[in-house]
């Protein structure tokens, strides 16, 4: 055997060994990702496929047969006055909750951040509504806003005004539920903003002060607000998703009576009360499409203005 043949054989053997090693590494990698992949398929992918299949049928829960109806369920949804009212109510709810839930939380975080001894107390006090069950707290709010027994109307009457029907006046239903939603999400957003404020280097604040930003408001707009960009984007997206998912307050406070319907409650009625599984599946896809478009739109729009 010549030296060239020997070298060629060695190279082939090295390549074969390297390829075998790569195959073994690939098999190990596949074994590691298999549990997560199977979980993803079982929880997200397969249910979404089943949901899409149901959405183009007239299937009713318990029925022995079903028929393909194409896009009729989606056309029916946008021609349904109840669905259109639920969509409008959900959008109105989100328009109220998102800005107030974000900027009030930022204001509270700024106030709590500068506390020394009482910071822990205020953090716990504002975060308590997040830990409470919203169904139970909605019952408490039902008592607080009662037109004759509630302390809120008692205070209104003490000032000489007529009691306000917060939960029976169709005009006030969505703003009232939005107020409860803001109260419930405020503490969670405050904690996120506190984490963002803590991550801002104090050297930047001092440098801004030395450069002429003597006023705290000036330092907020030149340093604090830009540095909070990633946190603000995350808070806006999560608050938007939470706002579109409003369900518990409707179910407990109004039980979905006319004027208080929301997307999730309408979906619940169609799917579980009326057993219109196919139509409910179509409503679910519409709901997911709204949330997806809103989240992606907000992320793309705000990402251009965020300083990482």
Mean pLDDT of residues grouped by 10 in the chain (308 residues)?
A: 52 59 81 88 89 90 83 91 90 93 92 84 84 80 85 88 84 89 91 89 77 75 84 90 87 78 88 88 90 82 64
Task: Kindly tell me the sign of the dihedral angle through the C-alpha atoms of 240, 119, 179, 103.
Answer: negative
Task: Kindly tell me the sign of the dihedral angle through the C-alpha atoms of 213, 216, 217, 221.
Answer: positive
- Identify the pLDDT of residue 147: 82
pTM of the model: 0.83
- Identify the pLDDT of residue 17: 61
- Identify the pLDDT of residue 235: 92
Residue pair 126/187 in contact (Cβ under 8 Å)? The answer is yes
Those residues with Cβ within 8 angstroms of residue 57's Cβ, 6 or more apart along the chain or in another chain: 66, 67, 68, 69, 278
Q: Which of 248, 274, 213 is nearest to 83 (CA)?
A: 274
Distance CA 134, CA 130 (A): 8
**The tokens of 134 are what?**
């919203």
Distance CA 95, CA 87 (A): 12
Distance CA 213, CA 198 (A): 20
- Identify the pLDDT of residue 31: 87
- Identify the pLDDT of residue 260: 81
- Identify the pLDDT of residue 12: 52
**Which residues are 68's β-sheet partners?**
57
- Identify the pLDDT of residue 16: 59
**The tokens of 243 are what?**
């706002």
- Identify the pLDDT of residue 254: 82
Distance CA 289, CA 36 (A): 25
- Identify the pLDDT of residue 201: 82
Q: What is the largest CA-CA distance in the chain?
A: 111
Residue pair 99/232 in contact (Cβ under 8 Å)? The answer is no
Q: Which of 239, 290, 237, 236 is nearest to 262 (CA)?
A: 290
Distance CA 78, CA 73 (A): 9
Alpha helical stretches, state H, the chain: 3-40, 46-55, 72-79, 81-113, 119-131, 134-144, 151-158, 170-198, 202-210, 216-219, 225-227, 229-244, 248-249, 263-268, 277-303
**The tokens of 254 are what?**
């109004």
């Amino acid at each position: 055997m010549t030296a060239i043949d020997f070298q060629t054989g060695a190279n082939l053997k090295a390549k074969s060994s390297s390829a075998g090693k790569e195959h073994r590494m690939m098999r190990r990698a596949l074994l590691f990702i298999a549990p997560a992949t199977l979980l993803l398929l079982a929880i997200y992918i397969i249910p979404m496929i089943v949901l899409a299949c149901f959405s183009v049928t007239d299937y009713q829960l318990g029925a022995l047969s079903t028929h393909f109806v194409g896009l009729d369920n989606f056309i029916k949804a946008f021609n349904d006055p109840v669905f259109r009212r639920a969509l409008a109510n959900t959008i109105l709810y989100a328009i109220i909750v998102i800005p107030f839930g974000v900027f009030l939380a930022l204001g509270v975080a700024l106030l709590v951040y500068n506390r020394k001894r009482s910071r822990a107390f205020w953090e716990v006090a504002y975060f308590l509504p997040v830990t409470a069950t919203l169904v139970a707290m909605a019952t408490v709010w039902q008592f607080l806003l009662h037109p004759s027994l509630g302390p809120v109307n008692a205070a209104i009457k003490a000032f000489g005004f007529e009691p306000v029907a917060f939960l029976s006046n169709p005009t006030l239903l969505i703003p009232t539920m939005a107020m409860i939603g803001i109260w419930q999400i405020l503490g969670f957003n405050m904690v996120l903003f506190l984490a963002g404020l803590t991550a801002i280097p104090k050297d930047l604040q001092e440098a801004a002060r030395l450069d002429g930003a003597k006023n705290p408001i000036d330092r907020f707009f030149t340093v604090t607000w830009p540095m909070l960009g990633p946190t603000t984007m995350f808070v806006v997206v999560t608050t938007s998703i939470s706002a579109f998912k409003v369900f518990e307050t409707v179910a407990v406070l109004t039980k979905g009576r006319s004027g208080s319907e929301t997307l999730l409650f309408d979906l619940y009625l169609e799917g579980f009360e009326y057993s219109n599984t196919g139509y409910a599946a179509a409503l679910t896809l519409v709901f997911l499409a709204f949330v997806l478009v809103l989240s992606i739109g907000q992320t793309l729009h705000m990402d251009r203005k965020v300083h990482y």
